[in-house]
Amino acid sequence: MKEILVAGGGIGGLAAALALALKGRRVRVLEKAAEFGEIGYGIQMGPNVSRMLERLGVLEAIEAHAFFPEALIFADALDNTEITRIAVGKFFRERYGYRYFVVHRRDLHGEILAACRRQEGIALETSRGVADFEQRGDAVLVRCEGGQEYEGAALVGADGLRSVVRQAVIGDGAPRVAGHYVYRGVVPMDEIAERSRADAMTIWGGPDLHMVQYRLRGGTVMNNVATIVSKRFRRGEKDAGAPDELQETFARADPHVRELLKYVSRERNWVLHDREPVTNWSKGRVTLLGDAAHPTLQYLAQGAQMAIEDAVVLAEKVASHDFAEAFLAYQRERMNRTARVVLSSRVFGEVLHADGGARELRNDYCRARNPDQCPEVDWLYRGI
């Protein structure tokens, strides 16, 4: 049996390679970058993904790097008051079977990569940007930017937000730019002055802004993320999301929240994107996975988790069907759940960034919540 080709060696592509290899398939990962890697910031992992990581045999290794917050706290950025919390320890273990954790992206990606390297059936290649492909009977011929060619039994496009494979399968052009700009920074704990909520994952929401803080690497460093919804972007102006707009937008925040901006680097920012959910992301022996299939805004913190869930479901379907059928069965199972993440993330973003009456309504609703329940995301955390 020919090997399965996977375009992209991010979290999604590597998880797919591992899941397929664990089902006895030979896999070749073609990664465009010169090295496998991830950016140096944190990522949140809900209980839904822990079950998947356990099935992939990597949960324990990843948890060894993780930080387990005692609660997810939501605070109002305008006055720094706590509005609500979700107690993610005992309650999560009892209801969902797993805790909520946060982890450095490089530790997460690195452990999945290490597990792939331990699988004889996985070949890992870098500097192999997939340029195009052709389906020929029972094979897919993939051509890389450097001219290399590979023949595989199937192709999984896990090549991210600007997926080349997606353009051949769906052809819907560039992703939607949301105009939300993100600044990040990781600093040692001894540089963090105010630590009263340091054992939690805290999110401060405010008009067109929010700030997130949580610890990483066994609690030794603090991950800081500041996001603004850019007015300049809405007006079509230049310099949307630039550092001075970050500062301007946070001018309304409580001084303590504004102070946290010193922990984020101004050297680089990320603009958020997503896409409208689609009803078909497979064509014959080619399918998509992760951000290539259903990129989402960050407001449920689930993009990578959806990619990992995709990987597990994909491998299960491939184990029991031929490729074209397996890919249709896979996308059928994943379509509504991932669409719900994409669409709910937009709504969560609006609620988080509310002002005026909408802010009052949000805060009243949230204050009445029971910290030992989370009906808003129960469907998500119960998992698959």
Ligand X SMILES: Cc1cc2nc3c(=O)[nH]c(=O)nc-3n(C[C@H](O)[C@H](O)[C@H](O)COP(=O)(O)OP(=O)(O)OC[C@H]3O[C@@H](n4cnc5c(N)ncnc54)[C@H](O)[C@@H]3O)c2cc1C
**Nearest-CA neighbor of 77 among 241, 298, 250?**
250
Q: Is 137 helix (H, G, I), strand (E, B) or coil?
A: coil
Nearest residue (CB) to ligand X, 11 versus 257:
11
Work out how close the CB of 370 gets to ligand X at its nearest, in angstroms, rounded to a whole number.
24
Residue 245 phi, psi dihedral angles, 5° rounding: -75, -35
Nearest residue (CB) to ligand X, 59 versus 272:
272
Question: Treating both helix axes as pointing N-terminal to C-terminal, what angle do 11-22 and 303-320 enclose, rounded to 10 degrees?
Answer: 30
Contact (Cβ atoms closer than 8 angstroms) between residue 43 and residue 107: no
Nearest residue (CB) to ligand X, 305 versus 363:
305
Tokens standing for residue 356? 């005026």
Nearest residue (CB) to ligand X, 70 versus 270:
270
Nearest residue (CB) to ligand X, 298 versus 363:
298
Work out how close the CB of 231 gets to ligand X at its nearest, in angstroms, rounded to a whole number.
20
**Nearest-CA neighbor of 102 among 9, 8, 190, 202?**
202
Work out how close the CB of 265 gets to ligand X at its nearest, in angstroms, rounded to a whole number.
13
**CA gap 267, 183 in Å, rounded:** 9
Nearest residue (CB) to ligand X, 209 versus 301:
301
Place of tokens 């997926």: 163
For the CA atoms of the chain, what is the radius of gyration? 21
Could you give the C-alpha distances from 272 to 30, 37, 42, 228, 297, in angstroms and in order? 25, 20, 16, 10, 6
Work out how close the CB of 158 gets to ligand X at its nearest, in angstroms, rounded to a whole number.
5
Work out how close the CB of 327 gets to ligand X at its nearest, in angstroms, rounded to a whole number.
16
Cα dihedral 106, 176, 288, 49, rounded to 10, equals 50
Tokens standing for residue 38? 């991830």
Work out how close the CB of 335 gets to ligand X at its nearest, in angstroms, rounded to a whole number.
16
**CA gap 359, 124 in Å, rounded:** 49
Work out how close the CB of 326 gets to ligand X at its nearest, in angstroms, rounded to a whole number.
19
**Nearest-CA neighbor of 120 among 6, 195, 18, 12?**
18
Work out how close the CB of 260 gets to ligand X at its nearest, in angstroms, rounded to a whole number.
16
**Nearest-CA neighbor of 135 among 310, 280, 323, 294?**
323
**CA gap 343, 77 in Å, rounded:** 24
Write out the residues near ligand X by the rule CB under 6 A.
Answer: 7-13, 30-33, 43-44, 129-130, 158-161, 164, 182, 270, 272, 290-291, 298, 301-305, 307
Nearest residue (CB) to ligand X, 35 versus 120:
35
Nearest residue (CB) to ligand X, 43 versus 56:
43
Contact (Cβ atoms closer than 8 angstroms) between residue 219 and residue 67: yes
Work out how close the CB of 376 gets to ligand X at its nearest, in angstroms, rounded to a whole number.
17
Nearest residue (CB) to ligand X, 282 versus 298:
298
Contacts with 90 (C-beta within 8 Å, 6 or more apart), sequence order:
none
